[in-house]
Structure 1
């Protein structure tokens, strides 16, 4: 089943709309319940995660039945079209269950080469960041604006984000700390919103480890559309997850990789 770019964008917007509705329906509700998906660490999932992904999958089953789907909560559904919808119904469930506003919904379309387009949606804030197929824009309370990453600057002037102070393994954390010591400012806890801030020209770097494909596909599409670069810590493809460096431009990216590799 072939599809035009306009059709894929229309469906992606509908997915974001229905996920926004489902996540907000449960947000800051006293009835919200979180359980952990792993026995050795707290990896929460809520009824909102499952409801949002189920609602998105229902739309895709109706309108794109030949496409594959990869979602955090319900796994992989094979397809025959060559396209895969990659869904994270709530990126930042820990923040969501705590009532913070910067969790988001991640939606992307990928082929064998990686993500082609993506949306980072912030339901509570009302912002939506879209990138791919010639589009790079943000919509929200301030209206519509083009996305564009920051230009080059010295590493010591850079702003670096990561979700957790504890970045991956002990060795990965040491490498991150070495980079953090060289930048102007390091901040934590924004989940997918940090990647949106790279695309919006607000910060320079996001560095993380231990990510899954559904964590990074949409951010890759949005940041690349805005003129940035996303790779693993060796400069290779990042859409498989793992160690991620998202950078506003190639120069700051190279500087960050040099520090991470030395550490």
Structure 2
């Protein structure tokens, strides 16, 4: 599926003729032909290889399955970055069961990086070859690197919660979409905090980060696979420190 999606997407990346439709009347939530063609390509693979499984994708209607498994697809997570030409977008693929995702893929076709997480498997492949994924340990909150996609994060209340954590860390960066979660799984950064997410935004990152040794919950410490507010941390200690600052948001 990741190969099929990448083949559909790459001809449009950094193309001068690429346009974008806006899915919002008030605001800007772009979708492109690349988003739609990539999701259709992944659905075609599933129709051939996993016809009994369900599908939840961003761009088209859900498909009910009979197997108890659902494939959760975001063909281009980070379409704003995609239309801007930054290589921080990615293809997200998760296979989910009743309690959440058990397999996740974050794929960046342009850079050739693929991050995979499942039980007993946490690995990335890319231009430098293959290596195991492992999140960082031993980083105190005041030395942590924190990412989020949008500076405004969400509601004013959610922004205040984020700023309580941001005020304690060493470095805060913005705008990476799903690539931030991949960097966390790869041991490059320590925290990702976001709000207003959908299931297809977060299920693949959850599976990858958990397989690499990290922790992902909502802002109350509960499951995050349905979306909403998400706290991803490199380890349990760092997660607890950030969660204590977010819980009242």
2-structure distance, mates of 1:225, 1:70: 22
1:148-159 mapped onto 2 (5 Å cutoff): 148-159=134-145
> Are 2:181 and 1:173 aligned?
no
- Shift of residue 262 of structure 1? 4.6
1:100-119 mapped onto 2 (5 Å cutoff): 100-119=86-105
> Are 2:35 and 1:49 aligned?
yes
> Are 2:116 and 1:130 aligned?
yes
1:1-263 mapped onto 2 (5 Å cutoff): 15-262=1-248
Moved over 6 A (4+): none
Asked if the contact 1:102/1:125 (under 8 Å) is kept, the reply is: no
1-structure distance, mates of 2:204, 2:4: 17
List gaps (5 residues or longer) in structure 1.
1-14
Q: Deviations over 1:145-204 (max 9, x none)?
A: 100000032210000000010111010001101110100000001100000011001111
1-structure distance, mates of 2:204, 2:158: 24
Q: Deviations over 1:25-53 (max 9, x none)?
A: 11111221101111111000000000000
Asked if the contact 1:52/1:89 (under 8 Å) is kept, the reply is: yes
RMSD: 0.8
Per the alignment, in what secondary structure is the counterpart of residue 144 of structure 1?
Answer: strand
Per the alignment, in what secondary structure is the counterpart of residue 247 of structure 2?
Answer: helix
Q: Deviations over 1:120-167 (max 9, x none)?
A: 001111100000031100000000010000003221000000001011
2-structure distance, mates of 1:29, 1:199: 30
Q: Deviations over 1:186-245 (max 9, x none)?
A: 000110000001100111100000000000000000000000010000000000000000
Per the alignment, in what secondary structure is the counterpart of residue 232 of structure 2?
Answer: strand
Asked if the contact 1:176/1:260 (under 8 Å) is kept, the reply is: yes
Per the alignment, in what secondary structure is the counterpart of residue 146 of structure 2?
Answer: strand
Per the alignment, in what secondary structure is the counterpart of residue 75 of structure 1?
Answer: coil
How many pairs are equivalent? 249
Q: Deviations over 1:105-125 (max 9, x none)?
A: 000100011000010001111
**Given the two structures, how large is their TM-score scaled by the length of structure 1?**
0.93
1-structure distance, mates of 2:181, 2:12: 25
1-structure distance, mates of 2:82, 2:218: 27
